[in-house]
Amino acid sequence: MNSSIVECLRSAGRLDRMFVDGEWVLPHGQARTSVIDPSTEEPVTEIALGNAQDVATAVAAARRAFAAWSVSSAQSRAVLLDRVHTLILERAELFAQAISLEMGAAIGFARSTQVPVAAEHIRVARDNLASYPFLTHRGDVAIMREAIGVCGLITPWNWPLYQITAKVGPALAAGCTVVLKPSELSPLSALLFAEVMHDAGIPPGVFNLVSGNGPEVGAALSAHPDVDMISITGSTRAGVLVAQAAAPTVKRVAQELGGKSPNVILPDADLARAVPAGVASGLRNVGQSCSAPTRMIVPRARLQEVERIALEAVASLVVGDPRSTQTTHGPVANRAQFNRVQEMIGIGITEGAKLICGGLGRPEDLSRGFYCRPTIFTAVQPHMQIAQEEIFGPVLVLIPYDSMDEAVEIANGTVYGLGAHVQGKDLGAARAVAARIRSGQVHINYPAWSPHAPFGGYKRSGNGREYGIEGIEEYLETKAILGFQDAPTLATTVQSSRNAQEQS
């Protein structure tokens, strides 16, 4: 199936082209890059890379399309999103196979999580669009929420489809037009998504895709004067570079960046439930999630019990070929990330943290591929690098505490503030701790994931919010119109104006 996906994209000419103004077009330059299968370290195909001229062409198409799309009815935009949602579900297996091939996700995880949650972002954008109040009143002031304009969307390699839909769905729902730059390291699912947009009947210029790297395409998109907003999901370093490039044009910049999320185990927590679920959550997607709770903060008196249960949980993991349905954890996504994980494990050992499982190198039965050993350090001090820096791999640290104030201090003691977890039987105590943690999300006792919960960070984890209502509002401007006393009259006036614009 993996080879057939590549052959299908190749035979259709997708690997050599960009999707701009409703057409699959050749890029202006000749640059190409290999797509590497992280389970074998071998290239499976090549894709064409765009440049600044391709960005300019795509932005011009999006600017032309904005005039009509921004005043189209919410109902018509919802119908389009409904078709996109349907097509993603119909092609779920293609997407799962592509994601497994391009970034190493275990096929079972790609099928059960990577693709379904991506589809949910489109569904929620569609549903919220149906009832969103784009026009409200405050006395004699009318408050209009209008599309911000042309949006550049920069997405990462770790959740390739999920991060695309989390941006494209709300942006289109708001009435924006977009230029998407997916990661060149995981481009196949993005090309499949562009096919979905085409087949769903997206008007020319409303959605555009330009493949390329950050220094060329990402920088050009961020600096372009006709781009009104940039939304990036990536490392804190990448977010800083995007913000710097965007600053001269004073465009809006939304950033979902790094994290080092805490998981606070309260003294009364049921360890038999809290610890295995914490290990699973921290190592989900092989630890390649910005909100992964990779710092388990545990009562010192219960540290040895936590260690024992955590070891049992890791022993149940199956690291291996991502194409096998028995595999729970495939390789990390690329060589640079493999090297980063190995470097940080080495630092943890040098710092004197106690290694209780895993460690340097691949699992013993795997001689090639970017496979890392699921690793747990214990008796970790909060100031250690492995407790402060985002590793982005299957590495969990256990940090002991002696009081609740200390636990909260440790939880808040990094430059990040994206996600957090709290475990405890006393919900009042758990909620009190959750209220003191400075992060964009806090999960109490492992609730189900919700696409309606706004997601974003404090501190160096970024700014702005994605998902749900807040995800749509990120792509809206606020206009106040003073002097209208009659709400029905204003609504009629606005709709008549939009109808005239749409017809023209």
How many angstroms separate the CA atoms of 13 and 211, rounded?
Answer: 14
How many angstroms separate the CA atoms of 116 and 159, rounded?
Answer: 12
DSSP E strand boundaries for 425-482: 443-444, 458-459, 462-463, 476-482
Strands 150-154 and 177-181: parallel
- Which residues are designated catalytic? 256, 290
Q: Is 11 left (phi over 0), alpha (psi -120 to 50) or beta?
A: alpha
Name the packing angle between helices 487-503 and 52-69 (round to 10°).
130
Residue 427 host element (H or E): helix 427-436
How many angstroms separate the CA atoms of 345 and 291, rounded?
Answer: 20
57, 65 Cβ separation under 8 angstroms: no
Q: How many DSSP H helices and E strands does the chain contain?
A: 18, 22
What is the DSSP annotation of 12-73? TTGGG-EEETTEEE--SS--EEEEEETTTTEEEEEEE---HHHHHHHHHHHHHHHHHHTTS-
Could you tell me how far CA 184 lies from the centroid of its own chain?
15
Residue 410 host element (H or E): helix 404-411
Residue 108 host element (H or E): helix 107-109
Q: What's the full length of the chain, in residues?
A: 504
91, 418 Cβ separation under 8 angstroms: no
How many angstroms separate the CA atoms of 456 and 439, rounded?
Answer: 8
How many angstroms separate the CA atoms of 82 and 57, rounded?
Answer: 28
Quick one: which of 493, 494, 485, 471 has its CA closest to 129?
471
- What lies within 8 Å, CB to CB, of 364 at 6+ separation is none
Residue at token pair 């949910």: 120
Tokens of 392: 């982005």
230, 222 Cβ separation under 8 angstroms: yes
How many angstroms separate the CA atoms of 503 and 257, rounded?
Answer: 41
